[in-house]
């Protein structure tokens, strides 16, 4: 008896040609929060306009802090509600890098990051671009590069530095801009080290596995 290619091989079982991969829901709550985080970018661009006013700096600083905190919130919601999506994995780091890069460039433009410290901005932004490209390259080869502990500490130091530099000085009696430059220096050192760890892990993943001798089995 000859079986047609159009007939299922098992009675009552659906044809494999009719099975389609489940589509991910883009507009879930975590992804919506991630997209809303990018709305802080045009607010940051207003800093040169309100640079001379204390109230304007305060509003922009708190706006940045609120946006930075949503990075923790959307990740927690995605894991808790099992709403982790491929598009979310792409948008989340993209929103972070856009927010941080915009803030650093604006701070340079208004002079709150002095000329001698511009190299730190170049290092931070350059590292972000390099690691993003490295992760894309690794994913194509089936290699996953997760966030390292140093990378997370770097992100915290980076956000604290930017927030302190956005606040008018003094704030609460503290030299906010001096604190910000100190934290920016720490963030730069952590940026270099965490970047090295990413590249080290990537190249280690490319190394062929050592052959197993018969006596080891």
pLDDT of residue 79: 72
Output the DSSP codes for 43-71: HHTTTTTSTT-HHHHHHHHHHHHHHHHHH
Average pLDDT over residues 140-164: 83
Q: Encode pLDDT of 61-106 as tens digits.
A: 999 999 999 888 877 777 776 766 666 677 777 888 899 999 999 9
Predicted local distance difference test score (pLDDT) of residue 9: 45
- Answer with the residue of higher pLDDT: 198 or 13: 198
Between 166 and 207, name the one with better pLDDT.
166
Q: What is the pLDDT of residue 172?
A: 84
Worst-scoring range by mean pLDDT, 16-20, 98-102, 199-203? 16-20
Q: Which residues of 23-60 are buried (b: 16+ CB within 10 A; e: fewer)?
A: eeeeebebbebbeebbebbeebeebeeebeeeeebeeb
Query: Domains in the chain and their CATH numbers?
Result: 25-206 (1.20.120.1760)
Q: Which helix (H) or strand (E) holds 203?
A: helix 176-206
- Read off the pLDDT of residues 40-66 as tens digits, 9 standing for 90 and up: 999 999 999 888 888 989 999 999 999
Decide: pTM greater than 0.85.
no
Residue-level pLDDT at 7: 46
With a cut of 60, say whether residue 24 has pLDDT above it: yes
For residue 169, the model assigns a pLDDT of 81
Average the pLDDT over each of 31-45, 74-88, 154-168, 201-215 and give the range with the smallest value: 201-215
Average pLDDT taken over every residue of the chain? 80
Structure confidence at residue 2 (pLDDT): 47
């Amino acid at each position: 008896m000859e079986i047609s290619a159009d007939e299922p091989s098992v009675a009552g079982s659906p044809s494999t040609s009719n099975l389609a991969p489940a589509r991910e829901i883009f507009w879930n709550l975590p992804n919506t929060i991630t997209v809303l985080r990018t709305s802080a970018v045009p607010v940051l661009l207003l800093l040169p306009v309100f640079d001379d006013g204390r109230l304007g700096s305060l509003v922009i600083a708190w706006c940045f802090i609120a946006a930075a905190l949503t990075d923790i919130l959307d990740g927690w919601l995605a894991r808790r509600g099992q709403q982790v999506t491929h598009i979310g994995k792409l948008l989340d780091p993209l929103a972070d890098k856009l927010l941080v890069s915009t803030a650093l460039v604006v701070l340079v433009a208004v002079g709150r990051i002095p000329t001698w410290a511009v190299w730190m901005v170049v290092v931070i932004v350059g590292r972000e671009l390099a690691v993003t490209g490295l992760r894309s390259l690794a994913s194509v080869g089936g290699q996953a590069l997760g966030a390292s502990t140093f990378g997370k500490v770097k992100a915290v130091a980076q956000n604290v530095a930017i927030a302190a530099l956005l606040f008018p000085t003094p704030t609460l009696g503290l030299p906010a801009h001096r604190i910000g430059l100190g934290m920016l220096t720490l963030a730069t050192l952590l940026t270099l080290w965490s970047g090295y760890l990413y590249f080290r892990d990537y190249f280690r993943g490319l190394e062929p596995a050592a052959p197993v001798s018969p006596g080891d089995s």
